[in-house]
Amino acid sequence: MKKLILVLTSLLITLNISSQGNKNLAEMLGYPGDSKLLIIHADDMGLAHSVNMACIRAFENKAITSGSIMVPCPWASEIIAYSKDHPGMDVGIHLTLTAEWGLYKWDGITASDQIPSLLDKNNYFYPSVEELGKAAKGTEVEKELRAQIDKAIASGVQPTHIDTHMGSVLANPELVKIYLKLSDIYHLPVLFPRSYLSWFPPDVAKSMESKIFLIDNLFMLEPKMITGKWIDAYKKGVETMKPGLNEMIVHLAIDNDEMQAISKGHDDYGSAWRQHDLDLISGTEFKDLLKSNHIILIGWKQIRDLMNSLK
């Protein structure tokens, strides 16, 4: 009898996995198959106090559904503490290997003598992805990225996903492999647009096609897209959004003395830019835009929990 129960249980699990395989992500999450799912995601939490305050405000007002922490940055401890006190918060790890601001710098979590290829002559992270890609050794990258994730978890964060600051883990093929490896190690989805599969050999790309965390469309405002009102580019992005998993990345901060000093000489994604993004997502016009285009807001936590339930 016991053996029969085990056989039946195994059969039910197999049938469940098989039936799930016939559904797309929206259906597996309980939505209609043609749903336009959207994660509104705030990058760079922990970068500065002004960034943290803006992101907290956006979370509390339900203006964003996700955010991620730059663990090596000076204000990471503030947002980590807030996240620990709000365990339902949808927070991931913003894997950080670059420090782009002219007068505001940081290095790694790992001791500098263990990650020399990741640091410039002043022992800070390189300011550009290009410089990182040329110098970085894979073993040192993996050591540092695992240290960032481990520190956040040890501090009480329950990460929902992993993503990447400035796309730094895409600097070269070796780093991409490490990025995907971290997904398996920590059982976390990673931000990875489906279009990136073309970078891989056909057999590798085919093996990844079934990953439920693949993003069908990634939207992030770029300087060349700003031609009129701040909402115009976002409006186009929402109105042309297709069914599937979409992510919209926003950069938030309070435009104050702190953020202005940090971003001096760096208008793109600087202090005023981030205030514009905060005002946009907090406004009724943007919220009405999402509603009129039948957008369903979700977070990475839903995807993480589904991904792990299918194992």
pLDDT, tens digit (0-9, with 9 covering 90-100), for 119-143: 999 999 999 999 999 999 999 999 9
For the residues 53-72, what does the mean pLDDT come to?
98
| Beta-strand relationship, 295-297 and 192-193 | unpaired
Residue 21: the pLDDT is 54
Rounded CA separation 98/106 (Å): 8
Residue 173: the pLDDT is 87
Alpha-carbon Rg for the chain in angstroms: 20
Rounded CA separation 266/271 (Å): 9
Residue 9: the pLDDT is 34
For the residues 201-214, what does the mean pLDDT come to?
84
Residue 199: the pLDDT is 81
Residue 11: the pLDDT is 30
Q: What is the pTM of this model?
A: 0.91
Residue 22, pLDDT > 50, answer: yes
Average pLDDT along the chain: 92
Residue 263: the pLDDT is 96
Residue 15: the pLDDT is 32
Nearest Cα residue to 51 out of 61, 63, 60, 42: 42
Q: 211-251: per-residue pLDDT in tens?
A: 889 999 999 999 999 999 999 999 999 999 999 999 999 99
Residue 6: the pLDDT is 36
Percent of the chain with pLDDT over 70: 93
- What are the structural domains of the chain? 29-309 (3.20.20.370)
